[in-house]
A and B are shown apart, each in its own frame.
Chain A
């Protein structure tokens, strides 16, 4: 799989709206970051971004995706129960057979996300292109989404955060989680975990496009959705578990 096939290309509209956002920043310095993000978005309902994780290529020692995620989003990488972890490696062992697997787990970007259903203010939302996000300016920190998420994909910011990536605003008292590197995807780049994987275990693409490399791969190998019994129609699929 070449990088070119995985990369969503920025359109003319994206460039124009990006320029508009930059101009907006110049003329209205007080504007909220989320509004800028809204102005620059290229989300289209025709697209549904998804991810295939081939766990047969993952090894327990390799944490490249986790480290890349932490670096991109300026997470500390600390692993106390109060620290944020947007992407983690879960080591699995089949209770009967003893077969093991090392599985990267992050927000599954469900088509019917429980976190969006329960959020009282609409801060948890799903973009038209299927990416599930938290509007950091509308989150009141009630943590109901964390109670509802079947994947333990969200973290609560328990203390002040420093040294933020301006493209990924975080804040004490708000809930956060994997955003599928929306800021990179909107610029035509790959999510950082996908890019960082040394074993090409992750494939990013458009689930709605039958000709995308992702869709073609999903047609040819056996894949599963985690907790498929819940019927959430996850955007992240796994091979090898």
Chain B
């Protein structure tokens, strides 16, 4: 392909991607309008399962937004050059995912037109109200952080800004985990382990998203990831994937040990139908075991294998969140421990839930928003991570 032909190919593909992103975003907005017009009766949600598929998408994106910034933190806070060149892309992805996640969360409200009420009336005992500050603060801090990285005169402030973003995102993910951690009523939630669990999950999911975006950008530009960078990133991903599995295991094993929680664990791990299936197969196999094998098996660990591992981590993340959020609500509230309960309101019965098309489209609309911000952002801002290959070769002669 000649230079001019290559450029035309590049431009047409860019507009093709933007068009695709816009189409999915519009479908998501259409789904929102449909749910807004008819009410949540057209969703799969009900009075037992009050948070559904949109929340799975939203929480994935918000958690991954925090985690994807980890790449920048390792560069700025811990001074690793390999990650420093990736910091701008990491910051942009953070803003994109946060924006997409919050869009879904807000558009799923029963009264999205009252979002101004949420922005002006705060109840400071509410984790949600804290999160309003944490999310908006995150936008501000990451925007400043990006500015310090892009503006030469601001460079000296890059490290403190990076440090602020590092601390802020740890608090932010603590806040996201605490949405569930502070819910004492339901068997699935109400545990202090959820905040650190969400932080470790964010590391894994964020890095997986980052790796996929970076791979696409490199393929687009005909570049290859330097083996030493690949080695670092895949090892880090493996540590985070194993860390997530450890926390999930600790959460369930602790529950199994408590007599009052064994019925719930029996449901979520064995008898609950789709939920144990997603937990074991989706999270356990596709999201944990397969990625670790793809990274560590002799002969694997190639850029392509790590790309598949990253995709597996993201599929596993959705499976885990679906089990955690929806399975956690489907299990009946233990209002009268020691009694069998039944009523017209679903007491004592497993709550039914199946995702509806508008919910899925709304969630995908949020992903599309994040995709569009990223695609247009990297195009305009030239955030392609460019390693200093001479330095890398000198530092890693064996590679």
**Which residues on A are within 8 Å of B, measured CB to CB?**
79-85, 88-96, 101, 103, 105, 114, 116-123, 138-144, 146-152, 154-160, 172-175, 226-227, 230, 241
Q: List 21 A-B contacts (CB under 8 A).
A: A79-B345, A82-B46, A85-B344, A88-B345, A90-B345, A91-B341, A92-B341, A93-B340, A95-B340, A96-B338, A118-B183, A119-B128, A120-B122, A121-B117, A121-B129, A144-B128, A155-B47, A156-B45, A173-B40, A227-B337, A230-B185
- Identify which of B110, B129, B341 contacts A120 (C-beta below 8 A): B129
Please state if A81 and B47 are interface contacts (CB–CB under 8 Å): yes
Please state if A120 and B128 are interface contacts (CB–CB under 8 Å): yes
Q: Which residues of A contact B125 (CB under 8 A)?
A: 116-118
Q: Which residues of A contact B132 (CB under 8 A)?
A: 120
Q: Which residues of A contact B118 (CB under 8 A)?
A: 120-121, 140, 142
Answer whether residue B221 sits at the interface, using C-beta atoms and an 8 A cutoff.
no
Please state if B109 and A149 are interface contacts (CB–CB under 8 Å): no
Query: Within the complex, what minimum Cβ distance (angstroms) separates B281 from chain A?
Result: 27
Q: Which residues of A contact B348 (CB under 8 A)?
A: 90
Q: Which residues of B contact A118 (CB under 8 A)?
A: 125-128, 182-183
Nearest 9 interchain pairs by C-beta: A141-B110, A173-B110, A150-B185, A81-B46, A120-B128, A79-B344, A143-B50, A158-B41, A159-B39
Q: Which residues of B contact A144 (CB under 8 A)?
A: 126, 128, 179
Query: Within the complex, what minimum Cβ distance (angstroms) separates B218 from chain A?
Result: 40
Main secondary structure of the interface of B (DSSP, over half): loop
Which of B140-148, B154-162, B328-336 touches A? B328-336
A210 vs B128: C-alpha distance in the bound complex, in angstroms? 39
- Identify which of A84, A122, A140 contacts B111 (C-beta below 8 A): A140
Q: Which residues of B contact A241 (CB under 8 A)?
A: 336, 339
With CB as the reference atom, state the residue of chain B lying closest to A146: B50
A241 vs B184: C-alpha distance in the bound complex, in angstroms? 23
B339-367 with Cβ < 8 A to chain A: 339-348, 351-352
A138 vs B186: C-alpha distance in the bound complex, in angstroms? 25
- Identify which of B47, B111, B189, B336 contacts A90 (C-beta below 8 A): B336
Q: Which residues of B contact A95 (CB under 8 A)?
A: 338-340
- Identify which of B39, B110, B185 contacts A139 (C-beta below 8 A): B110
Q: Which residues of B contact A227 (CB under 8 A)?
A: 185, 335, 337
Q: Which residues of A contact B337 (CB under 8 A)?
A: 227
